[in-house]
Amino acid sequence: MNEKISVIVPVYKVEPYLCRCVESILSQSYTNLEIILVNDGSPDNCPAICDYYVEKENRVVVVHKPNGGLSSARNAGLDIATGDWISFIDSDDWIEPNMYETLISNAVANAAQISIGGVADELLTDNGTIITKTSNVNSNVTEVRDKMSAISHFLSNPWSAWDKIYRREVFENIRFPVGEINEDEAIALQLLDKCERVVYTNEVFYHYIKRPESITTSSFSPKKFAWYRHCRENLAWIRKHYPELTELAAARYRTSLLWTLTEVALSDNKYPHETKELITELKQIRRNFPKIEFAFQTDRIRMWMICTLPFGIYRCLIRIKRRRGTT
């Protein structure tokens, strides 16, 4: 087994973390790698670090491009990748030495088009402390899902681009939406639709670092309306292609609406037009899918409050709860 894996690493303003990321890739026990560092117009010393690794290691390729965002950088890597498999690593994260050896072994053994590993969420606090939450709660488990089961699993679980390897063909004619966040959600269903099998293991390989200044941990902004829009588009896609999974897609969409409305309530801006639209769509989901269960009782309560009370009251109540540390 000697198939090449193209590892695409978007690089932007991650100078303190970049070397750790690249070294963790170079140290992989599986060595047939093409490491594509995409310098997305980074204003710090990241471009020089990328060039250093090109000189040091013949498996490293560098793309220098104007800043275009994460999707643009990933797409630039996809456009030049030559591997049989594709992988993405965020440049402030790092991976365990046996990640690619295990993922490709699992994929080949099970004739899978996507192979997925476990993740450790690591919150980097302002004082430099790391708080780790791992997805591996028991012994390592590997399971194989067919297309329908994999899509169902996606609709009920978090999804990111970076803890996986993909057969190159899966990304044929598919690219990340440029200029948007939550770009992983936008293309997940199209990727899974090209798979006959997806293999999962909960063995932790990927260390996902949440920095205080990162997109996911930053305060609410208009860009963060992307998740509910993508979930709405995915619901429409599921209704057309896999109608038997409509309730799962509607539940995910409902979760995205509740999350977005709560974040709006906690933000300094009121976003009146968007808030009205979100509440209207939440009420429609409540009316059309009254029997969908809630994963959390708090979501059931939030939906009742948002659909029943004036939003200004919900804003006051949710802020009080947040100050008390109960949300």
CA atoms within 13 A on the CB side of 318: 24
Q: What are the CA-CA distances from residue 57 to residues 84, 104, 178, 222 (Å)?
A: 20, 22, 30, 41
Q: Which residues of 199-219 are buried (b: 16+ CB within 10 A; e: fewer)?
A: bbbbbbbbbbbbbeeeeeeee
Tens digit of pLDDT at every position of the chain (327 positions): 789 999 999 999 999 999 999 999 999 999 999 999 999 999 999 999 999 999 999 999 999 999 999 999 999 999 999 999 999 999 999 999 999 999 999 999 999 999 999 999 988 765 555 566 665 555 578 999 999 999 999 999 999 999 999 999 999 999 999 998 899 999 999 999 999 999 999 999 999 998 665 544 457 889 999 999 999 999 999 999 999 999 999 999 999 999 999 999 999 899 999 999 999 999 999 999 999 999 899 999 999 999 999 999 999 999 998 887 655
pLDDT digits (tens, 9 = 90+) for 257-316: 999 999 999 998 999 999 999 999 999 999 999 999 998 999 999 999 999 999 999 999
pLDDT digits (tens, 9 = 90+) for 175-186: 999 998 899 999
Spatial separation of the C-alpha atoms in residues 215 and 211, rounded to whole Å: 9
Q: Are the CB atoms for 278 and 264 separated by under 8 Å?
A: yes
> 3-state DSSP: the chain helix, strand, coil percent, rounded to 5?
45, 20, 35
Look at residue 123 and give its three-state secondary structure: strand
pTM > 0.85? yes
Spatial separation of the C-alpha atoms in residues 186 and 209, rounded to whole Å: 22
- Residue 113 φ then ψ, to 5°: -95, -20
